Each structure stands twice: as structure tokens, then as C-alpha cells.
Amino acid sequence: MRALGVETTTPPPVPAPSAERCPAAHPDDPTPCGGPVVVTVLDRHTAGVTGCEHHGARLLASVDGARVVPLPTAPEGVATRVFKTADSTPPYAWEKRGERR
């Protein structure tokens, strides 16, 4: 762009997600992951995010109309465990329990 006489600026770097937390972990949820990434949580439009069992369940409980599917390498029954945990987890559980980051 300099050849055209237009100065460009570099956008600020986007912080990398913490290696300690999976993509399904909400930024305000202070809890650590509960193991490796094993599920994908899909919303009603089939947009999805992968996550550990713990954050997958919290996300599933918080997104209306979501569903959970296991990753091909996941242990048998993991999606069922996430579904059952989400069933007894309130939406945005970290807010309701006063958990802070």
C-alpha cells in the first residue's frame, strides 16, 4: 500500500487463549478444564465449539437449543455424561454461584 501513498497500520495483536482452558470455557467462568477436549457443543444453527467435559456441560446448560456430540477420539459415553451434567447445571453457573475470575 505504500506504493500507492497510503500508510497502513498493524492491528493490535489478539491475545492467545490460555493453554490451560478449552475453547468452550466462557471468559467469565473461572474454573479450570476438567480434562482434554472431547466434545463439540453445537447451537441450533450448527455453529459449534469444542470443549472438555466440564466446560462442555456448562456451555450446553447455557445455550438454548444446543446439543453435544463426541469427538471421534473421545471415550465412549462422554457425550451422555456431558448431557447429564448439563441437565443439572444452571445456565451461567459461575454467575449463580458467585465464582469470579
pLDDT tens digit at each of 101 positions of the chain: 455 565 555 544 434 344 589 999 999 999 999 999 999 999 999 999 999 999 999 999 999 999 999 999 999 999 999 999 999 999 999 987 666 65
pLDDT at 16: 39
Task: Give, to the nearest 10 degrees, the angle between helix 53-62 and helix 78-87.
Answer: 50
pTM, rounded to two decimals = 0.77
Residue 17 CA: distances (Å) to CA of 10, 20, 42: 20, 8, 20
pLDDT at 65: 96
Q: Where are the domains of the chain?
A: 25-92
Rg of the chain in Å (alpha carbons): 18
pLDDT at 74: 96
Distance of alpha carbon 16 from its chain centroid, rounded? 14
Within a 13 Å sphere around the CA of 74, how many CA atoms are in the beta-carbon half? 23
pLDDT at 17: 47
Beta bridge partners of 68: 41
Query: How many CB atoms within 10 Å of residue 60?
Result: 24
Maximum CA extent, the chain: 61
Instruction: Give the separation between CA 101 and CA 95, rounded to whole angstroms.
Output: 10
